[in-house]
Amino acid sequence: MAQTQEKILILDFGSQYTQLIARRVRECRVYSEIVDSAMSVADIRREAPSGLILSGGPASVHGDGAPGCDPGIFELGIPILGICYGLQWITDHFGGRVQPSGSREYGQAVLRLVDPENPLLARLPEESRVWMSHADEVVEAAPGFDVIASSDRVPFAGVCDPKRRIWGVQFHPEVVHTKYGKRVIRNFTRTICGCKGRWSARAYVEVATEEIRAQVGEGKVILGLSGGVDSTVAAVLIHRAIGEQLTSVFVDNGVLRHEEAKRLLEVFRKHLDLNVKFVDAGEELLDQLAGIEEPEKKRKVIGHQFVEVFRRAASEIADARFLAQGTTYPDVIESSGIGKHADNIKSHHNVGGLPAELGFEALVEPLKMLFKDEVRALGKELGLPDEIVWRQPFPGPGLAVRILGEVTPERVATLQQADRVVIQEMKASGWYRKVWQSFAVLLPVQTVGVMGDGRTYENAAVLRIVQSSDGMTADWVPLPHKLLGRIATRITNEVKGINRVVYDITSKPPSTIEWE
């Protein structure tokens, strides 16, 4: 990102909520970046932040190898806010006392203002609901720090050293359960740090366009277009910056949704004016999948074939030096090692990407500092149709991970029809945008049914409709029974080969979202 704009750096101690802090700051229209808590003060100074936020984290300041920051941050002369572990580390550093809370405090608490005049607490009511999640707590504030808020169990729920301009809170203002949390973040970023709030999708288009031009110059760029919101927004943004220097490659691998390739091509070419190289590799892939039942093997075949097809298509574009991808900020954070203090390091297969051996000189990743909702806002700003902006995630291996056992052309056609019904009904009822994913799975398990006067012996379909914020965990959605009934009736009436529909009522964990 451009160094010129105002920004807040978030020094990460590994809290599961660190990404939320970054999002809340950006919701105040201030750009934020997450960096490792141990970043040197020289590096921090180079970023010229308007303020620092020290995140929470699972460690104890008394533990072996407890993480800390470069103490030089206190000489920078910019405001600092410590949250949970961040507060405890600051307190310990300046000679206050931190001790185990007895039992771990997790959940709601009532915050009471001790100093309502403090700018961090401006426009908060005397009492309000906050979210606590900590094992240690401050039992004696460090010299120079005043108490500005407390709760029943935590006397030092908020502290401030007005001279050094340091604040600390034991509760988590970044989570939605803290009623006035966003106001606290706004007070810190806008009032205390003095940020003007100029971060927006529109501003980002300008900055990103310049950066893309500076990076690629006259070079040619290739991008793998899937039709998902990330790759499409990346393509449109890059196209806006460098026009015909960008070629997008769109592959129909034969396991897309009903008429998806046709519809998407029309959007790409007619509405978005993209230069798209279309490769129809459907038959080729379905041939390779014949006889394969094992899920991991299916995935390998599909992944391998995609790389091959992409390599062929790319080799036909002379002098392409750059590969563009729609990588987003959560992918970057997860793979960068920031948050290495986190207790539960996540592994995630949703981080797509083409292998390095494709031989490109460099990657162009214009969304890599954006969260999903910011990518959507950018898509809207760039004039993408709602159909793309609000698309639910769709796995790279497509319907193949939603057909159990062997993937055959007949089974793909059957599932496409069932999937079409689910999407139509979810959209018509207004539920499509309210959930993370909604789809059908084909079970090659035949059961007896009756239709008209005859017996049937057909397959079952599962409806999988889940809510999630990032796909890492998910809850099944209690859809209205009427809607579930309508979907089931339509599938059994309209889709040949399915005579039974069941609803999946498991969450993730212990299940996964896809069935495979």
Residues of this chain that bind ligand XMP (CB under 6 A): 349-350, 352, 393, 395-397, 401, 437, 471, 508, 512-514
How many Cβ atoms are within 10 Å of 146's Cβ, its own excluded?
13
Give me 262's structure tokens.
């046709």
Structure tokens, 390: 């609000």
3-state helix, strand, coil in the chain (%, to 5): 35, 25, 40
CB of 351 to ligand XMP, least distance (A): 8
> How far apart are the C-alpha atoms of 434 and 364, rounded to whole Å?
32
The neighbour count for residue 379, using CB atoms within 10 Å, is: 25
Question: Distance of CA 9 to CAs 3, 22, 386, 393, Å?
Answer: 12, 9, 33, 30
Task: Note whether 459 and 444 are within 8 A (CB).
Answer: yes
Q: Tell me the backbone φ, ψ of residue 507, rounded to 5 degrees.
A: -100, 175
Instruction: Give whichever of 303 and 409 is closer to ligand XMP, judged by the CB atom.
Output: 303
Peptide bond before 510: cis, by omega within 30 degrees of 0? yes
Q: Which is nearer to ligand XMP, 198 or 349 (CB)?
A: 349
209 vs 392 by CB, closer to ligand XMP = 392
User: Considering the complex, what minimum distance in angstroms separates the CB of residue 72 from ligand XMP?
Assistant: 41
- Tell which phi-psi region holds residue 337, choosing left (phi > 0), alpha (psi between -120 and 50) or beta: left
Q: What angle do CA 344, 348, 353 make, to 5 degrees?
A: 145
Query: Is 84 considered catalytic here?
Result: yes
Contacts of 132 (CB under 8 A, 6+ apart): 105, 106, 107, 108, 109, 151, 153, 154, 170, 171, 172
Nearer to ligand XMP, 130 or 234 (CB): 234
Residue 304 C-beta: closest distance to ligand XMP, Å: 13
Task: Provide the 3-class DSSP secondary structure of residue 26.
Answer: helix
- H or E stretch covering 225: strand 220-225
- CA–CA distance, 399 with 474 (Å, rounded to integer): 20
* Cβ-based nearer residue to ligand XMP, 40 or 350: 350
Strand partners, 31: 7
Assign 471 to helix, strand or coil.
coil
For residues 173 and 185, give the distance between their C-alpha atoms in angstroms, rounded to a whole number: 7
- Of the chain, the end-to-end C-alpha distance in Å amounts to 39
- Smallest gap from residue 253 Cβ to ligand XMP (A): 12
Q: How far is the CB of 308 from ligand XMP (least distance, A)?
A: 17
Distance set, CA 320 to CA 216, 261, 276, 500 (Å): 11, 25, 15, 50
CB neighbours of residue 147 within 10 Å:
15
Q: To the nearest whole angstrom, how small is the minimum distance from the Cβ of residue 26 to ligand XMP?
A: 23
Catalytic residue (one of 174, 260, 365, 374):
174
**56 versus 352: smaller Cβ distance to ligand XMP:** 352
Marked catalytic residue, from 69, 84, 160, 193: 84
Number of C-beta neighbours around residue 383 at 10 A: 11
Nearer to ligand XMP (CB atom), residue 202 or residue 346: 346
Residue 339 or 471: which CB sits closer to ligand XMP? 471
Q: Is 174 a catalytic residue?
A: yes
Tokens standing for residue 375 = 């990518």
Q: How far is the CB of 175 from ligand XMP (least distance, A)?
A: 23
Active-site option among 6, 69, 160, 172: 172
Q: How far is the CB of 352 from ligand XMP (least distance, A)?
A: 5
Q: Classify each residue of 263-294 as buried b or exposed e, where b means 16 or more C-beta atoms within 10 Å of its C-beta.
A: ebbebbeeebebebebbebbeebbebbeebee
How far apart, in whole angstroms, are the C-alpha atoms of residue 418 and residue 492? 9
Element (H, E) at 492: helix 481-494
Tokens of 176: 């939605």
Judged by beta carbon, residue 156 or residue 439, the one nearer ligand XMP is 439
Which CB atom, from 366 or from 396, has the smaller least distance to ligand XMP?
396
Q: Kindly list the catalytic residues.
A: 84, 172, 174
